[in-house]
Every structure is written in C-alpha cells, then in structure tokens.
Chain A
C-alpha cells in the first residue's frame, strides 16, 4: 500500500541555518504530495503542495520539488527562524475506490535556537 517515510527528528538548528527534511514515498498511482506544519497545541496547516512530477511547491521561504524518479519530496528552507520551530509532516493523497485518503509520515520535529 501507499506509504510515506520521513527523516526522524528532532532536528535542532541555529537561526539562519539551512534546513532539509527528507521525505520519500511509495504509491501505486499518481499522488499529490504535501507538507503540513503543526505548531504546539494546534491542528495541521498546509505549508505547500505539488500535484505532479517536477512541480515545485513553495510558501513562506520553504520549498519542495516532486521527484518521481527518486520518489522524493524533500523540504528545504535557506534560512530558518525561531518561529519555524514546529512538527513537519510529509503526506500524499491519492484516489481510491471513488474516494481518496491522505497518508502521513510520522513527522519531524524542528527546534530552532536563537
């Protein structure tokens, strides 16, 4: 079945450091790929998305490119801020039997130190 694997955390960085969170997926169809962010005590917020191969999603300085050949969707940011401290989830959505479901990775916690 479909699955998402993302790098284990926590990831601890200093402010203005470069961020990469790795994500790979397994899917039988042609899924859409997402990164969600969850701040402490809150629900999930969509950070960025890509719906087909070679698409690049971007938002708030974060970027991720849908790589079909490597089945990857790595999240990057050039300069992190303390306010980026949160848990980041990679996810895929695909259609199945008239509906669809979203599969999430386990999440990667990011700590950014001032």
Chain B
C-alpha cells in the first residue's frame, strides 16, 4: 500500500501570495493532520480533520485554513504569505485500528516564501 503522499514537493512563493498544499492519506485512514516544521525546530500542530470535520486546531492565524474531501484527502491553504511561513509542511494520517494515536507522516512540502 502507498504511504501518505503530499504535493508539491517544493514550492516557491512571494510574500502576499496564496498557496495550496495537498495530502492523500493512507488508504482506509480517515483522519489527516497538518504540521508546520520551521528549520531547526520540531513540528507544530496546525489542524486535524476526521471524517471531513475539523477536530483540532493549533495556535495559527486565520490565514491558515484546511479542508478534507469525501475521499479523505486534504488541502491546506495559506493566504497572504509571510516570510515566516517558510517551512516544511507535514501531513499525517491516522486510521482506526492502528496503535493509539499512531500517525504516519508524508515526506512533506517545502515552502519557501521570498
């Protein structure tokens, strides 16, 4: 089975622009979470979605939004990009029957804002 996939792999945007990142969870997994990892730091929780509903939100501004589709894939949108949004954005999926709260991470999308 394929693991968690994310697209694009790399992205360069200019300040003020908008970006959409995509994630496909492991087949059968219904929960997707998004994390931001700034260089040299640990990942920070942004959102969790389960069955197309938001179930958790981290301490990020309203410029960050997400949604989950009927096939459980997800998009993360960031508006009005700032230089500080430059980071590796990680998606993780969790499925029923896996180890308690055990998440599987994708390779990430590296966003550079210039």
Contacts and interface: CB of A to CB of B under 8 A. Distances in A.
A60 interface: no
A69 interface: no
Nearest to B107: A43
Contact of A101 (B56, B104, B107, B108): B56
B8 interface: no
B101 to A, nearest CB: 4
A93 B98 CA distance: 14
Given A42-B107, A43-B107, A96-B56, A103 B45 contact: yes
B105 interface: yes
A99 B101 contact: no
Given A44-B43, A101-B58, A103-B45, A32 B100 contact: yes
Interface in B66-111: 90, 92, 99-108
Nearest to A1: B59
B45 A49 contact: no
Interface residues of A, number: 29
A74 B5 CA distance: 31
B46 to A, nearest CB: 10
Contact of B33 (A42, A102, A105, A107): A102
Contacts of A94: 101
A101 B45 contact: yes
Given A34-B102, A43-B107, A107-B42, 6 more contacts: A43-B90, A44-B90, A51-B99, A51-B100, A97-B55, A102-B101
Closest 3 CB pairs of A and B: A99-B55, A93-B101, A104-B42
